[in-house]
Amino acid sequence: MGGLNSVDTLIISNCIHSGSKEGIFLVEGGNVWILRNQIYNNADGIFCSKSVPTVSKNEIYQNKGCGIII
């Protein structure tokens, strides 16, 4: 997700697993909160480009690459 209209977004309490790419991919997001998610068995956990979300209390494990890339 991302772009100029990606503001005030809440990603909360999801189970994101077994994807061939990133669990969460964020580009140019504003005011984004990523809270209490389980993110595992993906290529990467959370990938953010030109975004600085609030990331808290997530379980990020067993991804092939990095857990969080900001």
Q: Average pLDDT for consecutive 10-residue bins of the chain (70 residues)?
A: 83 97 92 96 94 95 89
Q: Burial letters for 20-40: b for 16+ Cβ neighbours within 10 Å, e otherwise?
A: eebbbbbeebbebebeebebb
pLDDT of residue 9: 92
Two structure tokens written together for 10? 């809440």
pLDDT of residue 5: 74
d(CA 1, CA 48): 10
